Copies of this chain bind each other. A is one copy, B any other.
């Protein structure tokens, strides 16, 4: 009820078309609302409609990136996509030990964003920001051994 509209609007503006495949990819991203690989999107789309090609998934993901509706991050050596949509940018802490992602609310990072704006004239558009570190549990468990 929002990303879809935006997607359609941007498609129209540039003379592109809304195809079932494109709709499905967007829907999937909306459903999972997390970081997914192209392969995962492909798997899910395949479940909906027997024949969508993975190249189409890649092409759609690229399109969505161009439209700033989707962001990409590399997690653990894999390229992962995520809907930015109208949910606005958000952020994560990633534990290097157990790989969990902890979500942080935008307001927690707001001061930083403002500071970068003021000091560097830099407008953070971060669709996605990942801070690497070690979570509480792993800090406790680790205390000595790596991995």
Of the 9-residue stretches A15-23, A37-45, A107-115, which lies at the interface with chain B? A107-115
A129 to B126, CA, bound (A): 12
Q: A74-B79, A77-B79, A96-B125 are in contact. List 20 more A-B contacts (CB 8 A).
A: A72-B74, A73-B74, A93-B120, A93-B124, A95-B122, A104-B120, A108-B119, A112-B112, A116-B133, A121-B136, A122-B131, A122-B133, A122-B135, A123-B135, A123-B139, A124-B133, A125-B133, A125-B134, A126-B132, A129-B131
List chain A positions with a Cβ less than 8 A from chain B.
Answer: 66, 72-74, 77, 79, 93, 95-96, 102, 104, 108-109, 111-112, 115-116, 119-129, 131-136, 139, 147
